Amino acid sequence: MGLQQKIGYISLVIIFSLAMAAAIEAAQPPFACNSSNPSTKKLTFCSTELPIKQRAEDLVSRLTLDEKVSQLVNDAPAIPRLGIPAYQWWSESLHGVADAGLGVSFEGTIHAATSFPQVILTAASFDAHLWYRIGQAIGKEARAVYNQGQAQGMTFWAPNINIFRDPRWGRGQETPGEDPLVTGRYGVSYVRGVQGDSFEGGGKLVNEGHLQASACCKHMTAYDLDRWDNITRYIFDAQVTPQDLADTYQPPFRSCIEEGRASGIMCAYNRVNGVPNCANYNLLTKTAREKWGFYGYITSDCDAVSIIYDDQGYAKDPEDAVVDVLKAGMDLNCGSYLKNHTKSAVQQKKLPEAEIDRALHNLFSIRMRLGLFNGNPSQFVFSSIGPSQVCSKEHQSLALEAAQNGIVLLKNDANLLPLPCRRTTPISLAVIGPNANSSQTLLGNYHGPPCTSISLLHALESYVTSPLRYHPGCNGVACSSALINDAVNIANEAEYVVLIMGLDQSQEREDHDRVDLVLPGKQKNLIIAVARAAKKPVVLVLVCGGPLDVSFAEDDDNIGSILWVGYPGEAGGVALAQIIFGDHNPGGRLPITWYPKDFIKVPMTDMRMRSDPYSGYPGRTYRFYQGKKVFEFGHGISYSTYSYSFIAVSLNEFHLTSMTAMKVSENSDSTRYVLAPEKGSKFCERMKFLAIIGVKNHGVMAGKHPVLLFVRREKVTHGSPMKQLVGFQALSLKAGERAEIEFLLSPCEHLSRADEHGVLVMEIGTHFLVVGDQEYPINVVA
Ligand SMILES: *[C@@H]1O[C@H](CO)[C@@H](O)[C@H](O)[C@H]1NC(C)=O
Ligand SMILES: *[C@@H]1O[C@H](CO)[C@@H](O)[C@H](O)[C@H]1NC(C)=O
Ligand SMILES: *[C@@H]1O[C@H](CO)[C@@H](O)[C@H](O)[C@H]1NC(C)=O
Ligand SMILES: *[C@@H]1O[C@H](CO)[C@@H](O)[C@H](O)[C@H]1NC(C)=O
């Protein structure tokens, strides 16, 4: 570049930068109560000194019926006469700020967001603090997008905390797995992180619950079937026992609301025992609001109101559907049904206007808690969060940390991994498989544009010095045809072979459940042939959300190692390469049971968790499933081995009746039990006890190891789980290091289960705390 050109270039840059600065300044986020506008700033609802309750009441009282009705849908229009801008309620942020909803745009200064691993993999870290930090990062990036004028709303419809009940579920990948405690804890951590944690120690909201961004616990409740055998979520009527509701389906929602203080709930499409979730007064009002103290808004899933009339025939006409949902306590309709039919419901005198006011009060309270009615938003606590916080180095390394700590080593015969070679030593490596060269697949669903995009192949390539050989092996993930000879030729010539197989969104996704549990098409044939031809045992990498029956690979000596990487997000490739080449010690553990392929004999529509020996129903999840497993919940090995010991448990025996004066009842199978006192009651607080566990890393590598503490009962009676997770903590230990960790346990919560009526009970008898191969007995006596 000559001097003249350079000057020209520099001035161009300056002009461009000025233009950019102007554009950035112009991109103001939408807000109400503009303090430079004399006609609106004096309105009572704009007065930030008043309680939000009073402000919302004032606002709602000013609206005409038409204006009110217009605000009941996700696409809420502006009300210019009151200076209220349009608002888009639907935004998504499942594992990073996404453009899967309508509220966020990546066309502007911010054109990407940190893409964390799909939730099922993040869950495998069993690290609640990691989940919280991810929530914080997502909430910050969400606020930055709004501050930059690229968001029409700040209400995000995540987390998905439905129990991953059936391995075929296309959306199981979005959830933290099959365990109610893990799922609840994930929800709490994520929500607190996203919302900005406006808590006091006691879980009370401060600043009237100001929100960094609003999170939403979805989909309430017992929703975990999308489209299977021609049954869709729109028409499915889930038959759920009070028992399973009480100790499986509902606890994550309860935690998300009580402890997470979520500001949103989404009611699901499906019916439960005949009643559409969005029309269930008992669920939305009696349980969520009154019993759990929910403070926020309830949205329908998209078009979940229209189906109540159109598909389910539950309501006799459209107005009845509107009345059903508003009277049940739903506040917002994703879709347009309420916009179309609410006014006529009022005119037909079916719907009191007070029901609309109640919903609007909840809706405007959220927008106020988000600071969108505070005048110029630069006054609000979160207004300084700028674009530099999006895809920051810190967030990108958090995405890497999540992938590193989630990836699960399922098999590692003869310590095949880590490969004994590093960047510096030339090795010959062949990479084979249809999932090797797609960075898009790593993002799963509900993602935005990631900060960086590296395929697994590319990440492995950057680790080796000599050229790597690659072949996709299949004509796609469905693998209707496999190019076995080509793949075998490549495998023959390499010292090490990594096969990158599994699923993608063409196989498991929203609105599409799987019909089997095996690898698609000819993937298995390809794997077996390549493994047989290779010089050494091969490494098999499985990309998938839901589990696969890979027992053939578990048993095949030619397959030395198996790794499950979920959909590991933008940093998944780097994490995998680090694990394969020994720069990171894997520690993830499966958050779901991997069932054998004949599990599909069980209809996906059967919601029962508990097994039924009379009909041969095997039950579901590690808590109740009686059959053979490919891999167990919690399975996951490491380059280190860890040992455990019980150091101390602060209580060995509970004398229940002397403490509670409770009546001991007896079941038909002569199990004796008492009603469990309410969680959080004085009695339960007093009964809490500590278990101190020693953990040692016997390996030569430092590692992060999730410790899972279970309870099992000496006698597994019908209705009690075989075992039950009661605590988990991820612990970092150096090579050879030993440490102690404490678990605070509450008998009311951790030693209880639901009876047939959905009432929590504690059984009399011996319970064992279980960690690894160690057990510690606790006697519950009456
Ligand atoms: C606030 O009001 C001023 C004066 O009417 C106007 O110039 C400005 O565009 C308004 N800002 C917003 C975000 O509405
Ligand atoms: C599902 O419906 C389609 C179209 O109606 C039909 O061809 C197919 O056989 C059905 N499948 C099952 C499993 O019932
Ligand atoms: C609401 O009415 C509009 C306009 O008539 C129509 O396009 C839309 O499909 C209706 N929405 C529903 C959910 O029926
Ligand atoms: C991997 O995929 C990218 C993008 O689709 C493509 O450009 C590249 O050639 C592929 N790499 C190999 C080795 O086939």
Q: Give the domain CATH number at 776.
A: 2.60.40.10
- 195 and 320 inside one domain: yes
Provide the number of structural domains found in the chain. Answer: 3
Average pLDDT over residues 76-97: 97
Residue 277 reports pLDDT greater than 80:
yes
Does some domain include residue 754?
Answer: yes
- 490 and 359 inside one domain: no
Please state, for a pLDDT cut of 90, what percent of the chain lies above it.
83
Question: What's the confidence (pLDDT) of residue 202?
Answer: 57
Q: Is 336 in the pocket of ligand 3 (CB under 6 A)?
A: yes
- 80 and 178 inside one domain: yes
pLDDT band for position 778 (50/70/90)? very high
Ligand 2 atom with the smallest distance to the CA of 229 is 13
Strands annotated E in 629-671: 642-649, 653-655, 665-666
Question: What's the confidence (pLDDT) of residue 658?
Answer: 61
Question: What's the confidence (pLDDT) of residue 616?
Answer: 94
Ligand 3 atom with the smallest distance to the CA of 339 is 1
Residues 675-715: tens digit of each pLDDT: 888 777 888 888 899 999 999 999 999 999 999 999 999 98
Residue 107 reports pLDDT greater than 70:
yes
Q: Could you give the CA distance from residue 204 to residue 194 in angstroms, rounded to a whole number?
A: 17
Query: Contact, 527 vs 554, CB < 8 A?
Result: no
Task: Give the other-Cβ count within 10 Å of 53's Cβ.
Answer: 12
Asked which of 538-547, 602-611, 747-756 is least confident by mean pLDDT, the reply is 747-756
- 372 and 429 inside one domain: no
CATH number at residue 94: 3.20.20.300
Residue 421 reports pLDDT greater than 70:
no
- 683 and 585 inside one domain: no
Question: Where would I find the H helices in 465-571?
Answer: 484-493, 523-533, 551-555
Residues 217-248: tens digit of each pLDDT: 999 999 999 999 999 999 999 999 999 999 99
Question: What's the confidence (pLDDT) of residue 24?
Answer: 43
Ligand nearest to the CA of 231: 2
Residue 17 reports pLDDT greater than 50:
no
Q: How far away, in angstroms, is 231 Cα from ligand 2 center?
A: 10
- 584 and 506 inside one domain: yes
pLDDT band for position 74 (50/70/90)? very high
Question: What's the confidence (pLDDT) of residue 409?
Answer: 98
Q: Is 260 in the pocket of ligand 3 (CB under 6 A)?
A: no
Residue 25 reports pLDDT greater than 60:
no
Q: Is 335 in the pocket of ligand 3 (CB under 6 A)?
A: yes
Question: What's the confidence (pLDDT) of residue 748?
Answer: 86
Question: What's the confidence (pLDDT) of residue 476?
Answer: 98
Range of the structural domain that residue 410 is part of: 397-621
Cα distance between the two ends of the chain: 89
What residues does ligand 4 touch, defined as CB less than 6 Å away?
437, 470
Question: What's the confidence (pLDDT) of residue 556?
Answer: 98
Ligand 4 atom with the smallest distance to the CA of 437 is 1
Ligand 3 atom with the smallest distance to the CA of 303 is 13
Question: What's the confidence (pLDDT) of residue 366?
Answer: 98
What residues does ligand 1 touch, defined as CB less than 6 Å away?
28, 31, 34, 36-37
Residue-averaged pLDDT of the chain: 93
Does some domain include residue 27?
Answer: no
Residue 14 reports pLDDT greater than 80:
no
Ligand 3 atom with the smallest distance to the CA of 306 is 13
* Residue where a domain terminates, one of 350, 366, 389: 389
Q: Is 344 in the pocket of ligand 3 (CB under 6 A)?
A: no
Task: Say which residues have a Cβ less than 8 Å from residue 695's Cβ, sequence separation at least 6.
Answer: 642, 643, 644, 705, 707, 731, 733, 738, 739, 740, 741
Q: How far away, in angstroms, is 219 Cα from ligand 2 center?
A: 27
pLDDT band for position 465 (50/70/90)? confident
Beta bridge partners of 205: 199
Backbone angles phi, psi at 762, to 5 degrees: -115, 130
Query: Contact, 720 vs 712, CB < 8 A?
Result: no
Does some domain include residue 28?
Answer: no
- 234 and 289 inside one domain: yes
Query: Contact, 319 vs 345, CB < 8 A?
Result: yes
Average pLDDT over residues 194-212: 76
Ligand nearest to the CA of 343: 3
Does some domain include residue 271?
Answer: yes
Pick the catalytic residue from 99, 244, 247, 301: 301
Does some domain include residue 631?
Answer: no
Residue 660 reports pLDDT greater than 50:
yes
Ligand nearest to the CA of 228: 2
What's the predicted TM-score (pTM) here?
A: 0.95
Please state, for a pLDDT cut of 70, what percent of the chain lies above it.
94
- Tell me whether residue 301 is one of the annotated catalytic residues: yes
Question: What's the confidence (pLDDT) of residue 208?
Answer: 80
Provide the Cα torsion 472, 478, 483, 486; round to 10°: 20
Does some domain include residue 3?
Answer: no
Q: How far away, in angstroms, is 306 Cα from ligand 3 center?
A: 10
* Residue where a domain terminates, one of 572, 593, 621: 621
Does some domain include residue 38?
Answer: no
- 290 and 408 inside one domain: no
Does some domain include residue 694?
Answer: yes
Average pLDDT over residues 559-581: 98
Question: What's the confidence (pLDDT) of residue 36?
Answer: 84
- 305 and 405 inside one domain: no
Residue 150 reports pLDDT greater than 70:
yes
Ligand nearest to the CA of 603: 2
Q: How far away, in angstroms, is 674 Cα from ligand 2 center?
A: 49
- 301 and 174 inside one domain: yes
